[in-house]
Every structure is written in structure tokens, then in C-alpha cells.
């Protein structure tokens, strides 16, 4: 992969995917999208083998997470090529959203257009103090095209999403935090350690339960509540009789009997 790095910590079972095109502020061209797709293939294989339980997605350098789709490449696209480019991005972003394990976006600078959109396809966003978010597309004569109109409205509400999209105005980290676009803001040098800590905490919970929780939230969010709780019921039920469920609950009961019996449960993903 020319533009993407993929690393795994065997100790914490956390994988990190880094978009590595800093000279162009990690803008997404077709080659980057292809490399990202390959990195997620590797991560999916590792997740199936229980080598990775949580992923971090970040950008190389200290200035930018992703400064959007590559404007140079887009400027010369025909309608057919534009459609193919859009499909490549949308397929990838949908895949990240429904990826079997959680994905944390560690936003280390600009997250504009497709950059904000890829961060919104992740489960959780945290960012550095120098992060800048925005959907500048209306200023380029297009609408957001990688799900921005849809995911932004779901995350921050239609009023704030409309303001950001119609005005093409960027917002800084503190405002992104205030409107709920990111969960936390850190000094730049603390961002990756914080993402690793959060990812390791997630990776230490029962994997079957974490995956089922992700599926329940994702599938339920666009359903009426009666259907959404039915989805939850099924996924809740699916955790029972797993070794992790039995051990997790037995551990709690042991603790109640005798606090000295407290132990860390190393969940087996079984």
C-alpha cells in the first residue's frame, strides 16, 4: 500500500490505519481509497482471527486528518468517472460504518468534505485541539457526496447540519465538541495515546457483546422504536450461552460472594 499504513498491537489487539499522503494533506484520491479498502481487508481478516478488536483511523502528519476528496483528481472527471469515484468512496464508508469491530477516528487536523465524512462513518470521533471540521462542497458547486448530508444530520441534528452544509463554514475543535460531532478534544501529542487507551478499553470488553452492541445501535437508529428494540432483543439474546457471557457474569457473582475473588476477565471471544 503506497498511501496507507496498517499496524497492529498484539498486546492490546488494537489496529491502527493511517492515511499517509501528508504532502496533499491526506486528500482522498482513487489510489488512497483503494489502499484504504486493502487495509480494511487486512483488518477484517485480523478481526476474524481475533487479533484485532478495535481500530483507530488517523492521518499522517500534524496538520491534517483528511482535507477532503482530491480536488485536482475530481476536477477532470467525466460524469461516468465521477459516479465510479463516488461509488468507491461510498462503498468504503458504508463498509467502515458496518465494520464488524468498532472504528475510532482520531482526527488530527483538517477534516473537510470527504475527511469529515469518513470520520462520521467511524463509530467514535475524538480530535486534537487544531482540528477543523467542515463540509465546504457548496462552495465548490457540489453537494456533500460521501454521505455528509445524511450522517451529519443524524449526528448533530438537521438544524446544525444545514447551517454547516449551506454556509460551507468550517468549525474548530471546541465547536465540534459543543455540537456533539466529537466526543473529546486533546492536545495534539495526546490524541493518539488517548485513542489507543480508549481502543484498548473497548478491546478488553467481551468482543461478541461489543460487536452485537454496534450492530444494535447501527440497525436500530433509523427504525421506529418498537422495531428498534426488537433488533436489540435478538442481539441481546445472541450473547447468551457464549463463554464470555458465562464468565463475565460468574465473575460478578464471585465478587459479590467474596470481594477478594475480584479478577480481571480476559475475554476469549467465544
Q: Which is nearer to ligand DAK, 72 or 237 (CB)?
A: 72
CB of 156 to ligand DAK, least distance (A): 18
Active-site position among 83, 117, 175, 247: 117
Cβ 126 to ligand DAK shortest distance, Å:
20
CB of 178 to ligand DAK, least distance (A): 22
Active site residue 117: yes
Which residues are paired to 4 by β-bridges? 19
Contact letters (x/-) for ligand DAK, 112-141, by CB under 6 A?
A: xxx---------------------xx--x-
Residue (25 or 127) nearer to ligand DAK, CB? 25
Cross-sheet strand order for the sheet of 64-66: 64-66, 110-112, 132-134, 171-172
Stretch that binds ligand DAK, among 62-70, 93-101, 197-205, 210-218 (CB under 6 A): 62-70
| d(C-alpha 238, C-alpha 226), whole Å | 19
Binding segment for ligand DAK among 19-27, 93-101, 198-206, 253-261 (CB under 6 A)? 19-27
Integer Cα distance of 13 and 30 in angstroms = 29
Rounded to 5 degrees, φ, ψ at 111 are -130, 85
Give yes or no for residue 93 binding ligand DAK (CB under 6 A).
no
Residue among 71, 200, 228, 231 that touches ligand DAK (CB under 6 A): 71
- If one asks whether residue 72 binds ligand DAK (CB under 6 A), the answer comes out as yes
**Does position 40 bind ligand DAK by CB under 6 A?**
no
82 binds ligand DAK (CB under 6 A): yes
Nearer to ligand DAK, 181 or 199 (CB): 181
Please choose, from the candidates 198, 35, 64, 51, the residue with its C-alpha nearest in 3D space to the C-alpha of residue 130.
64
* Torsion-angle region of 13 (φ positive above 0: left; ψ -120 to 50: alpha; else: beta): left
Catalytic residue among 73, 137, 241, 243: 137
What is the per-residue binding string for ligand DAK in 231-270, x denoting contact by CB under 6 A?
A: ----------------------------------------
Active-site residues, by number, are 117, 137
Q: Which residues bind ligand DAK (CB under 6 A)?
A: 24-25, 27, 67-72, 74, 82, 85-86, 89, 110, 112-114, 136-137, 140, 145-146
Amino acid at each position: 500500500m503506497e498511501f496507507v499504513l496498517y499496524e497492529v498491537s498484539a498486546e492490546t489487539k488494537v489496529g491502527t490505519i493511517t492515511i499517509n499522503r501528508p504532502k496533499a494533506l491526506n486528500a482522498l484520491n482513487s489510489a488512497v481509497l483503494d489502499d484504504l479498502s486493502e487495509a480494511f481487508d487486512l483488518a477484517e481478516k485480523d478481526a476474524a482471527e481475533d487479533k484485532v478488536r478495535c481500530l483507530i483511523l488517523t492521518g499522517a502528519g500534524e496538520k491534517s486528518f483528511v482535507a477532503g476528496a482530491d480536488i485536482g483528481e475530481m476536477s477532470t472527471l467525466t460524469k461516468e468517472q465521477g459516479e465510479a469515484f463516488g461509488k468507491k468512496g461510498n462503498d468504503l464508508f458504508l463498509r467502515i460504518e458496518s465494520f464488524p469491530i468498532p472504528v475510532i477516528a482520531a482526527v488530527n487536523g483538517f477534516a473537510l468534505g470527504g475527511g469529515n465524512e469518513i470520520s462520521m462513518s467511524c463509530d467514535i470521533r475524538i480530535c486534537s485541539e487544531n482540528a477543523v471540521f467542515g463540509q465546504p462542497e457548496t462552495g465548490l458547486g457540489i453537494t456533500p457526496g460521501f454521505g455528509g448530508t445524511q450522517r451529519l444530520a443524524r449526528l448533530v441534528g438537521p438544524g446544525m447540519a444545514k447551517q454547516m452544509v449551506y454556509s460551507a463554514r468550517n468549525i474548530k475543535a471546541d465547536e465540534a465538541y459543543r455540537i456533539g460531532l466529537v466526543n473529546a478534544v486533546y492536545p495534539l501529542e495526546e490524541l493518539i495515546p488517548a485513542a489507543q487507551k480508549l481502543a484498548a478499553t473497548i478491546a478488553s470488553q467481551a468482543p461478541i457483546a461489543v460487536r452485537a452492541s454496534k450492530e444494535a445501535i447501527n440497525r436500530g437508529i433509523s427504525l421506529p422504536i418498537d422495531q428498534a428494540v426488537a433488533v436489540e432483543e435478538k442481539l441481546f439474546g445472541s450473547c447468551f450461552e457464549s463463554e464470555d457471557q458465562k464468565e463475565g457474569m460468574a465473575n460478578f457473582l464471585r465478587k459479590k460472594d467474596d470481594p477478594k475473588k475480584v479478577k480481571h476477565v480476559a475475554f476469549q471471544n467465544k
